[in-house]
Chain A
Amino acid sequence: SQTIHQWPATLVQPVGSPLSLECTVEGTSNPNLYWYRQAAGRGLQLLFYSVGIGQISSEVPQNLSASRPQDRQFILSSKKLLLSDSGFYLCAWINGPYGYTFGSGTRLTVV
C-alpha cells in the first residue's frame, strides 16, 4: 500500500537556527511531491513541489528551500529560521486526478 511518512511531529526551534523536515513515500515510484504550510486563518499555502529527483519548483519567495535527493524523499530546509516560519508543515503526494495524500504534518514553533 502507498503511505507517506513525515517527521518530526512537533518541533520547537529558536530564531536563527537551521531546519530540516523530511518526508518519504512508500509504495509508489516517481511521485509528484509537495510541501505546504498551514498557518492559522491563512489556509494551505503551497511552498514547493517536485516532479522528480533534483527538480524543485518554488511557489513563493521565502526563507525556505527544498530538495529531492531521492525519488521518494523530499526535504524542507532553512538556514536561519524566522518567527514567521512558525506553522503546520504538510508533505503530500499526488495520487490521481482527485488530489493528494497528505502526511501527518509537523507543527513548527519558532521562539
Chain B
Amino acid sequence: QKEVEQDPGPLSVPEGAIVSLNCTYSNSAFQYFMWYRQYSRKGPELLMYTYSSGNKEDGRFTAQVDKSSKYISLFIRDSQPSDSATYLCAMRRGGSQGNLIFGKGTKLSVKP
C-alpha cells in the first residue's frame, strides 16, 4: 500500500461548480498536511496547509483533515477557469523537518 493515494483524474467541471479533491494515507504519524497547486510547466506552489485534524478556510478554498479516517480533502467553491491546474496533496511526520510525501496529483479543468 502506497503511503499517499490520490486519484489522478482528470477532473472536468463547469465554471462555478464546487470541486472536491481528496487523498488517503496510511501512516498515522503524519501531522502536517498540505495542498500544492501546479500549473502546466511550472513548479508546484503551496496553496493550503493544516496541522493535525480540522478545517482551514482561505477564500474559496477549504482544507479538511480527518486523521481518524486518514483522509484529507480540498474544496474549491465557485471554481474559476484560472483554477485549472494539477493539485497535489503532501504530508509529513511531526518533529524535525522531515521529507514531504506527495500524492500523484489530480488534474483539474474548469470549463467556462
Chain A interfacial positions (CB closer than 8 Å to B): 6, 32, 34, 41-44, 46, 49, 88, 90, 92, 94, 96-105, 107
Given contacts A34-B99, A97-B32, A104-B43, 8 further A-B contacts (CB under 8 A): A6-B43, A43-B105, A49-B99, A88-B41, A98-B46, A99-B32, A99-B34, A107-B41
Residues of B contacting A32 in the complex (Cβ-Cβ under 8 angstroms): 97
A90 to B88, CA, bound (A): 14
Chain A nearest CB from B87 CB (Å) reads 12
Contact at B88–A43, with CB atoms within 8 Å? yes
Residues of A contacting B36 in the complex (Cβ-Cβ under 8 angstroms): 99
In the complex, how many residue pairs between chain A and chain B have their CB atoms under 8 Å apart? Answer: 53
Whether, in the assembled complex, B45 has its beta carbon less than 8 Å from a beta carbon of chain A, the answer is yes
Chain B interfacial positions (CB closer than 8 Å to A): 6, 8, 32, 34, 36, 41-46, 49, 51, 88, 90, 92, 97, 99-100, 102-105
Contact at B104–A100, with CB atoms within 8 Å? no
Residues of A contacting B99 in the complex (Cβ-Cβ under 8 angstroms): 34, 46, 49
Contact at A99–B43, with CB atoms within 8 Å? no
A107 to B42, CA, bound (A): 10
Residues of A contacting B41 in the complex (Cβ-Cβ under 8 angstroms): 88, 105, 107
A42 to B103, CA, bound (A): 9
Chain A nearest CB from B44 CB (Å) reads 5
Residues of B contacting A44 in the complex (Cβ-Cβ under 8 angstroms): 44, 88, 102, 105
Please name 15 pairs of A and B residues whose Cβ atoms are closer than 8 Å in the assembled complex, sorted by A: A34-B99, A44-B88, A44-B105, A94-B97, A97-B32, A97-B51, A98-B46, A99-B36, A99-B92, A102-B43, A102-B44, A102-B45, A104-B42, A105-B43, A107-B41
Chain B nearest CB from A86 CB (Å) reads 15
Contact at A99–B105, with CB atoms within 8 Å? no
Instruction: List the 8 closest pairs (A to B, CB-CB), nearest first.
Output: A102-B43, A43-B104, A98-B49, A44-B102, A99-B34, A105-B43, A102-B44, A94-B97
Chain A nearest CB from B39 CB (Å) reads 11
Chain B nearest CB from A44 CB (Å) reads 4
Nearest chain-A residue to B32 (Cβ)?
A97
